[in-house]
Amino acid sequence: MPNANEDNPRALSQAQQRAVSELLRVSPVADDLARRFQEAGFSLALVGGSVRDALLGRLGNDLDFTTDARPEDVLKIVRPWADAVWEVGIAFGTVGCQKDARVDGAEQRFQVEVTTYRSEAYDRTSRKPEVSYGDSIEEDLVRRDFTVNAMAVALPEKEFIDPHSGLDDLAERVLRTPGTPEESFSDDPLRMMRAARFAAQLDFEVAPEVVAAMKAMAGRIEIVSAERVRDELNKLILSPHPAKGLALLVDTGLADHVLPELPALRLERDEHHRHKDVYDHTLIVLEQAMALETDGPDLTLRLAALLHDIGKPKTRRFENDGRVSFHHHEVVGAKMTKKRMTALKYSNELIKDVSRLVELHLRFHGYGTGEWTDSAVRRYVRDAGPLLDRLHKLTRSDCTTRNKRKATALSRAYDGLEERIARLQEQEELDSIRPDLDGNEIMEILDVGPGPAIGKAYKFLLELRLENGPMERDAAVAALKEWWATQEA
């Protein structure tokens, strides 16, 4: 394992201790696999993020290895050893497998990827990397994205390999490229987004020469597929410090190509918060939404927080009294959200949910000091549907005013709305609001078969239910017959 250098001996010594501890934990799996490669005449090394995370004391059960064995040889070695094998990435030299093993007295499941030494590069028109295999681990490491991911531990002897001083950069918490950043980003432009993602995940700084290359080469991201861009963006947004990564995307111009709605917010002033522009406000809302998460990172909530105000640039109006307004920006924003997420190849379900939250995020501001009727509260719950909890969090996060009295008043008002919702839910099962008569009962009462008339009757009874709450059956039947008489007239 590595020796501490003179520049930062304490940090590197601590990294050594963490790495030894982490590697000892996974040794029953890693060493067993390495011995099998040795017996077959090949080398195996733990590599990349796995080594980085071991040095940071956060190595999980996802292990990345590199080898001089070609994919067909890797398959021959791992098939008798693994509990499951998949070949999804074999075109890129990667074989995946699953191994269940007893570690530290407990059964654990490991996800393993073994990748042949390789180099990959884009040409000017390609959306997919061209893969060629290498013959040395040094050749493999120089093609890695950043020096902190260009370290390896040869197994089973546990020899530390660090030709690009990744350990020093890890101690300094800085992201640099093994070669020149221009060469690295030319090989794979997605690495520019990875720089922002790792800055957000690890809270590292990006070296000035790397930032400069990102600015100069931002347009190269256009040749990368939308799916790969989306996956990197998701990892960034779900990280512990997404605002840091998003700011880097905006400052380097990458966001202009992958999420142009975000930098567009920098020029707009929020009518409620004139001391900051909408861009700053958006990043604060994202961080405040994260603080309200209860079950880990929530992509739906975070995307809604990030996109909730993107309709403001298109709806900005300068009023005669000097104010700036953004009327209906939530409706426009919902449409823009759908368009952007569709372009990034998100699932239809996620697009629907995030767009709906953007559309509803201002609804609460009509609540004021509690003057909504029970009918309005029911409609709020009905319109939010299964997104109600996220809507609560998004709405609360959207308050970024420095006026403590105003912030307290808004918080109390929303407390009051949630209390009313809870009371009505207890009384009326708001989550599953439906008419007091179902479709079969409607057809029987009206003596009408299936058709558009039944849909209209159902909608009438649903509106009646929302307006008045639960009705006795006789009252619902009478109301239905009265409505039907007006339809026949």
| The model scores a pTM over 0.75 | yes
The percentage of the chain sitting over the pLDDT mark of 90, rounded to a whole number, equals 50
The structure tokens listed for 404 are 């403590």
Q: Is the pLDDT of residue 234 over 50?
A: yes
Spatial contact of 238 and 291, defined as CB atoms under 8 Å apart: no
Band of pLDDT at residue 383, cut at 50, 70 and 90: confident
What is the rounded distance in angstroms from the CA atom of residue 64 to the CA atom of residue 62?
7
Helix and strand totals (H; E) in the chain: 22, 13
Give 405's contacts (C-beta < 8 A, 6+ positions apart).
Answer: none
Residue 296, classified by CB atoms within 10 Å of its CB into exposed (0-12), middle (13-18) or buried (19+), is exposed
Closest CA to 139 of 116, 169, 156, 165: 116
Residue 84: strand pairing partners? 98
pLDDT single digits (tens) 166-187 = 999 999 999 999 999 999 998 8
User: Side chain identity at 259, as an amino acid letter?
Assistant: L
Give 322's contacts (C-beta < 8 A, 6+ positions apart).
Answer: none
* pLDDT score at 125: 61
Q: What is the DSSP letter of 277?
A: B
pLDDT single digits (tens) 191-211 = 999 999 999 999 999 999 999
- Give whichever of 107-111, 139-143, 195-199, 263-267 has the largest mean pLDDT: 195-199
Average pLDDT, the chain: 85
Q: Is the pLDDT of residue 360 over 90?
A: yes
Strands 118-121 and 94-103: unpaired
Virtual torsion, Cα 388, 392, 394, 396, nearest 10 deg: 170
* pLDDT score at 36: 96
Q: Is the pLDDT of residue 150 over 70?
A: yes
The structure tokens listed for 472 are 């006795």
